[in-house]
A = this chain, B = another copy of it.
Amino acid sequence: MTAVTGLEQAGAVLAAEAARFASFGWMRGTSGNLSVLLSREPFRLAVTAGGHDKGELTAEDVVLVDGRGAAVGGGRPSAEAELHARVARLTGAKAVVHVHTVASVLMGRRQPGGIVLKDLEMLKGIGHPAEGEEVTLPVIANSQDMRVLGDRLEAARDPRMPAVVVAGHGLYVWGDSPRQARHHTEVVEWLLELELAAG
Contacts and interface: CB of A to CB of B under 8 A. Distances in A.
Contact of A102 (B170, B187, B194): B194
20 contacts: A24-B25, A28-B122, A29-B122, A29-B125, A30-B125, A30-B183, A31-B187, A100-B122, A102-B197, A105-B194, A119-B142, A120-B169, A121-B142, A121-B168, A121-B169, A121-B170, A130-B168, A131-B142, A131-B144, A196-B197
A118 B90 CA distance: 31
B102 A130 contact: no
A92 to B, nearest CB: 20
Interface in A101-125: 102, 105-106, 109, 119-122, 125
A106 B196 CA distance: 11
Interface of A: 24-25, 28-31, 53, 100, 102, 105-106, 109, 119-122, 125, 130-131, 142-144, 166, 168-170, 179, 182-184, 186-187, 189-190, 193-194, 196-198
Which 4 pairs show the lowest CB-CB distances between chains A and B?
A121-B169, A29-B125, A28-B186, A29-B187
Given A28-B190, A102-B193, 18 more contacts: A24-B25, A25-B190, A28-B122, A28-B189, A29-B125, A29-B183, A29-B190, A30-B183, A31-B121, A31-B125, A53-B182, A102-B197, A105-B120, A106-B194, A106-B197, A119-B142, A130-B142, A131-B142
A130 to B, nearest CB: 6
A83 B177 CA distance: 30
Contacts of A182: 53
Contacts of A169: 120-121, 130
Contacts of A144: 130-131
A198 B119 CA distance: 24
